[in-house]
Amino acid sequence: MEIRKKIVVKNPEGLHARPATELVKALSEVSSEVYIVYKGMKANAKSILNILSLGVDPGAEVEVIVSGEDAEKAIEIVEAILNEEAKD
């Protein structure tokens, strides 16, 4: 099963160090392949260096491509982290 979804990054940090680390850690629980596409670049969402290389800023729109048995769970994880509001 493959799911493609466009998501606007609401996280105030964009997809930089803390949220990227959180995303990689959370995605280690799924077997699906997960990619993030931004400005024509495609990165493996299970690799911190790949994610950081995209330089995704807050408010940017990314496309998430997920394929595998637990694709729905994986897309929910990505969406939750990208939509996370600021923590006090």
pLDDT the model gives residue 33 = 98
What per-residue confidence (pLDDT) applies to 87? 53
Q: What is the pTM of this model?
A: 0.92
Q: Is 16 a catalytic residue?
A: yes
The CATH number of the structural domain formed by 2-82 is: 3.30.1340.10
Taking the C-alpha atoms of residue 57 and residue 69, their distance in angstroms, rounded to an integer, is 30
Q: Is the pLDDT of residue 76 over 50?
A: yes
DSSP letters, the chain, are: -EEEEEEE---TT-SSHHHHHHHHHHHTT--SEEEEEETTEEEETT-HHHHHHH-PPTT-EEEEEEESTTHHHHHHHHHHHHTPPPP-
CA–CA dist 16, 56 (Å, integer): 7
The catalytic residue among 3, 7, 13, 16 is 16
Q: Span 13-20, mean pLDDT?
A: 91
